[in-house]
Amino acid sequence: MAKELWDTLFGVYGNESNLSRIFEIKKSLNSLQQEGKGFKEHYGEFKGLWAELDMLRPPTIDIKEMIERREQDQVFGLLLTLEESYRGLIHHILRFEKLPTLNQVCMMIQKEEGSRGLFKGTSEMAHVSQAKEVGVVAEKKNLWCDHCRMKGHAKDKCWTLYPHMRPKNLKGTGQTSRGATSAASDDVVRKSDLDALIKSITKLSESGKGLFACRNHKSVIVDSGASHHMISDKRLLSNVDPHCGKVMIANGQDVEIRGIGNLEVFKKKLKALYLPDFSSNLLYVHKATKDLDCVAVFSPDDVKFQDTKSGKTNGEGCSKGGLYVLDVLDSKQPIVNKAALSSFWHERLGHPHSKALQLALLDQKAQDHQDCEACILGKHCRVVFPESTTSYGECFDLVHSDVWTAPCLTRDQYKYFVSFIDEKSKYTWVTLMPSKSHVLDAFSNFYNYVLTQFGAKIKILRSDNGGEYMSRAFKELLEKHGIVHQTSCAYTPQQNGVAEHKNRHLMEVSRAMLFDRNVPKQYWGDAVMTSCYLINRLPTVHLGRVSPYEKLKGIN
């Protein structure tokens, strides 16, 4: 009993975003009717829904939150107007941790609508569509709940999940009785269904019908009386450039030209006029045979376009209603061949590597998808930064600097350290700081130290764009001493790689010493200072097997 109560509470309030419940409340408010109940009971139900909505979406004065809620209300309003057949898509949208924007939802609905038209016109897929339609009709006549496995209501009206929706005047607990087994969710794709779909697609591809051959494009009429290729369906054109003008059609009317685009016929591009107000798509046969270097052979049943040199048939159309009709998307080969089928599953399965795709499609030949634009954009990484070839003649001509933040305070309440690295000798100086605002004092002291001890002046300082380096006081100090400040580009730490790598080296040595002697983390400051001292006195191949100390002091 306690478990059932917990399951009920988790079903109602378990979702962190509560999008599904908010949507159901708004749906209930829109469909709420008195239906013979007393006003007090009706008003109590009305107030209960609003109280729950206020709990899920408490009042706020945050402008950003208010704008986001307004966007959510627009999405909810759109979803409430959709047909019952979109229930699976609605459930999918409401599962998101953050509700998509209205534009994103519109795109998802359009894709869903397009995918439904995808399988129309093919006899093998017609059975699936018919079965779905029968299922919808049966569901309306005899609703079934997947949660409690009882008839007479849907899952979104189940009182077990939503106790407040139970009618007050109803007695008995018939609805809450459960079956021995739990039903799967409506929108779960079973492996058997996926295997059947793959086999159907493969069968269509091998038979030459081709998946997606039935697109919602209009047919092109082969016309000998036209003066241009005239297309009213923009989906048949690519690279449409705006163009102004008019063309006279057969009935004497002038139709406005909106653009000129490329019409693909037999894998070749033909220039065609885009006339959205025109009622047909016309292919001017004279211009087509000239551009395609072919001849058109007309017969009572069809028209064939044959190459003038080889005599090979490039494509053909059929006779319908006294007109010769050509499907520009079709040719001698099916639209979806083996390569296209491989590309289809490459996209559907998340753009996997061709070897992984081959393991999934055992009976298919997986193609190499190196030219997949989505893979190139989504999987590419930054090119390796080249090593600098610039050399500096004297020490302190260039100094690198960076700040490191510690996970805890030292015994002396230090939280940060700033490093200064000489480009010529690779010698490193480290200063511990309680806050980043002390970088200015640290650099000022370092500048005076270099001037006094080495009789040299810092010419260039290279750092990132941290606020401690970009303050007005810091800039004034650099200008006072004539120091050039070089900063790395945003989100490009590689340009300050010397300081970044040096800080990493310091921390690696420090952590190793702390772990070796089981020293608490609070002593990281002492470990860093010790690491800096040791690194400065260890030979390195970058300096010709001498130490930074020897390089700085000029010791041979």
> DSSP secondary structure string, 77-130?
HHHHTS-GGGHHHHHHHHTSSSPPPHHHHHHHHHHHHHHHHHTTT-HHHHHHHH
Closest CA to 9 of 140, 162, 128: 162
Q: pLDDT band for position 447 (50/70/90)?
A: very high
* Calpha distance 514→477 (Å, rounded): 37
Residues 232-255 have a mean pLDDT of 80
Residues 160-186 have a mean pLDDT of 48
Please indicate whether the domains covering 220-326 and 398-553 agree at the CATH topology level: no
* Calpha distance 439→404 (Å, rounded): 11
Predicted local distance difference test score (pLDDT) of residue 126: 42
Contact at 8 Å (CB) between 91 and 24?
Answer: no
Tokens linked to 265: 């016929």
Q: Which residues of 500-517 are buried (b: 16+ CB within 10 A; e: fewer)?
A: bebbeebbebbeebbeee
Q: Mean pLDDT across the chain, nearest whole number?
A: 76
Q: Is the pLDDT of residue 14 over 70?
A: no
Give catalytic residues, as residue numbers.
223
pTM (predicted TM-score): 0.39
Q: How big is the CA angle at 325 (ends 324 and 327), to the nearest 5 degrees? A: 150
Which is the CATH superfamily of the domain at 220-326? Acid Proteases (2.40.70.10)
Predicted local distance difference test score (pLDDT) of residue 363: 55
Q: Is the pLDDT of residue 530 over 60?
A: yes
Domain borders along the chain are: 2-176, 191-213+334-379, 220-326, 398-553
* Calpha distance 293→308 (Å, rounded): 6
Q: pLDDT band for position 437 (50/70/90)?
A: very high
Domain 398-553 matching CATH 3.30.420.10: the answer reads: yes
* Calpha distance 68→58 (Å, rounded): 13
Q: Which residue has the higher pLDDT, 217 or 197?
A: 197
List Cβ neighbours of 519 (8 Å cut-off, separation of 6 or more): 513, 527
Contact at 8 Å (CB) between 257 and 275?
Answer: yes
